[in-house]
Amino acid sequence: MAEKWGRRAILLVYAIMIVIPLLVVLFGGFKNIGQLYSSPLGPPVPPTGRNFTSLVTTANIGVPILNSTALTAGTLVITLFFGSLAAYGLARIKGWIGWVIWAALVLGMTVPAQTSLVPLYVTFRSLGLTDNLFGLILVETVHAIPVAVFILGGFMRALPRELYEASSIDGAGPWRTYRSVIMPLSAPSLAATAIFLFVIVWNDLLYPLFFTTSPSVQTLPLALLAFQGEFLTNYPAIFAGVTVASLPVVVAYIFLQRYFVAGMTAGATKG
Amino acid sequence: MTSAGEPDVGVRVMASVQRRRRGRGATRTHWALYLFPVPALALVVAFLLLPLVQSFQYAATDWNGYSATYKSMGLDNFIHAIFNDSLFQNSVVNTLKFTLVVVIVQTMLSLLLAVLLVKNSRLNIVLRSLFFFPTILSSVAVGFIWAFIYDPTFGLMRGLFQMVGLGALSGSYLGDQQAAIYWVAMVQIWFHAGQLMVVFIAGLQLVPQELYEAADIDGAGKWARFRSITWPMIAPATTIVVAYTTIQCFKAFDLILGIAGNPPGTALDILSTRIYTSFANSQYGYASAESIIFMAVIGIVVLLQRWALRLTQARE
């Protein structure tokens, strides 16, 4: 009996520790500075929408929202396409060549990104790809592809070999088999991969910080970081920004939770 | 299926992600199949592996990223970083302190939560999704939230200390040169314990129940059950969690910048932020050398951990 209550107490305390910081942000965005400091935890009475309007008027948050959307969408489309092509090919290529290609891709995943970032920056600069959205999509894609091949490859290898063979007996070439047989069957693992990459790319700070400088290509995490300088300790404004920046991921989490857990645990094995 | 403790369990832990199947039969590979990996491979080779090699070349120079000429430095960058650069040394120490605390505390916490939530009851599933939730937020956002909580004048942490009657102990948190890195370690744990809890739950759910039943017949106590069944059986999951957590800690770049600003002060400067600062100061050669040391340190730490874990996981 005592043990049962002990377990519940631990879970309850931890749940409170998770919820409180989240509530502080959610409520804080609707408070003015005075309200936040006098009652950081309580609900905003009366709520104010001024922090959110000032995001638009002062901080011009529309630009980073568009940039982050384009960056994430572009990266996901290219990565899933190239990644699934590679995973499919590697699931069917026999012998050492397939193994070497797999090893090269997985090596790209185990090397910490920082180690290749400086030369990559120099290459991109000479190609005119720094400080623009297309270049940034390319950088995110390059780093996302090994993860995608890894997750999708695991799935495609697990498909029964007969599936590949049956369709080639029916006269379908590799492309046809990829498009009409394997892709539809891979939908759940594509979704899990997409979710995993969505969270990573949407929230990423490292590559935008390295590869861009202009406000016109600023992504949301960069814009948030800039708020910190701009609003200093105006936490209500910062919290409003945090709420807006997190909203798409939170909404996706609520509706697609299954894929989140699947994708983020599969992604965790990349260590 | 397999006997207890085989590495095979680990493969299943992660839903067969890593499985490689050897081709059966002697049918030859269709030539067009070789084209499928080409786009992915070309991008990875050109923009990941080639720059990695170049990094070693850069590291042997004093190039500032712009001038047409540079001096060859041999190993001087490495020697300077390791023996003479107190900022670099400081960032190594901070990274190791941060990683050590997070790996130990977060792994224990996420395992504890996983054990408590392993059954698929409705309440447990709700709690799992709540505990997982922080993981999906951006590190910058999490950094801001906690910068406020740690605010020495208005923050909640101060209020918490006062509430339990320890107001006198309430310090300046992030302003405390010695302790700041540990306060940020707590944030990292809040941020990611739920994610690794899910990995442990997947591992725990694969432990055959018969083993526990057999232990019950033997009259084994709770701790004995954990020590001789659970811990060895989840060894593959633990290995993954520890390695992943370590790499996450080394990359805690975004969180540090979110909580400490850019560039962070010396109390919160870790290796990944140090490399960025060198890069931002146009020390391209030096930053490359630092990044190679960074890679080596991660590698050494991960190997040491594997070795240490294996010692505890040996079955008695």
**How would you write B301-312 as a 3-class SS string?**
HHHHHHHHHHHH
Distance CA(B250)–CA(B139), nearest Å, equals: 14
Mean pLDDT rounded to a whole number for chain A: 89
Q: Which residues of A touch B36 (CB under 8 A)?
A: 85-86, 88-90, 174, 178
Domain count, chain B: 1
What ipTM score was computed for the predicted complex, to two decimals?
Answer: 0.90
Q: Which residues of A touch B198 (CB under 8 A)?
A: 261, 264-265
Q: CB-based contacts of A93: which residues, under 8 Å, 6+ apart?
A: A101, B29, B33, B34, B37
- Cβ burial B26-43 (10 Å sphere, 16+ → b, else e): eeebbeebbebbebbbeb
Residue-wise pLDDT for B162-190, tens only, equals 777 776 666 778 888 889 999 999 999 99
Give the mutation candidate from A115, A161, A251 for the B interface (greatest B CB count, under 10 A).
A115
Q: Distance (Å) from the C-alpha of residue A25 to the closest C-alpha of chain B?
A: 7
B134, B144, B154 ranked by CB distance to A40: nearest: B154
Looking at the domain assignment, is residue B238 inside a domain?
yes
Looking at the domain assignment, is residue B221 inside a domain?
yes
Q: What is the DSSP letter of B68?
A: S
Intervals of chain A under pLDDT 70:
1, 231-232, 265-271
Looking at the domain assignment, is residue B15 inside a domain?
no
Distance CA(A260)–CA(A255), nearest Å, equals: 10
Which token pair is B224?
């004995």
Which token pair is B76?
């001087």
B41, B52, B156 ranked by CB distance to A24: nearest: B156
Quick check: B140 and A203 CB within 8 A?
Answer: yes
Per DSSP, the three-state class of B61 is strand
Of the candidates A230, A146, A157, A240, the one whose C-alpha atom is nearest the C-alpha of residue A193 is A146
Looking at the domain assignment, is residue B95 inside a domain?
yes
B58, B136, B257 ranked by CB distance to A205: nearest: B257
Please tell me the predicted confidence (pLDDT) of residue A267. Answer: 59
Give the mutation candidate from B22, B36, B142 for the A interface (greatest A CB count, under 10 A).
B36
Of the candidates B58, B18, B203, B101, the one whose C-alpha atom is nearest the C-alpha of residue A109 is B18
Please tell me the predicted confidence (pLDDT) of residue B26. Answer: 43
Looking at the domain assignment, is residue B110 inside a domain?
yes
* Helical pair A96-110 and A62-92, crossing angle rounded to 10 deg: 150
Please, which residues bridge with residue B72 across strands?
A: B61
Residue type for position A80: L
At residue B72, what are phi and psi to the nearest 5 degrees?
-80, 135
Q: Which residues of B touch A149 (CB under 8 A)?
A: 40
Q: Are B170 and B162 in contact (CB under 8 A)?
A: yes
Q: Which residues of A touch B57 (CB under 8 A)?
A: 119
Intervals of chain B under pLDDT 50:
1-26, 316
Domain of residue B145, CATH code: 1.10.3720.10
Looking at the domain assignment, is residue B123 inside a domain?
yes
Which token pair is A163?
């599936």
Give the mutation candidate from B145, B187, B198 for the A interface (greatest A CB count, under 10 A).
B145
B58, B199, B254 ranked by CB distance to A119: nearest: B58
Quick check: B37 and A86 CB within 8 A?
Answer: yes
Q: How far is CA B303 from CA A29, B84, B239, B243, B269, in A?
A: 44, 27, 11, 9, 24
Of the candidates A113, A109, A112, the one whose C-alpha atom is nearest the C-alpha of residue A153 is A109
Domain ranges of chain A: 2-48, 71-220+255-268
Of the candidates B193, B183, B182, the one whose C-alpha atom is nearest the C-alpha of residue B106 is B193
Looking at the domain assignment, is residue B289 inside a domain?
yes
Which CATH number fits the domain A71-220+255-268, given the four candidates 3.30.200.20, 3.40.50.2300, 1.10.10.10, 1.10.3720.10? Answer: 1.10.3720.10
Q: Is B231 on the interface with A (CB under 8 A)?
A: no
Please tell me the predicted confidence (pLDDT) of residue B27. Answer: 60
Distance CA(B137)–CA(A202), nearest Å, equals: 10
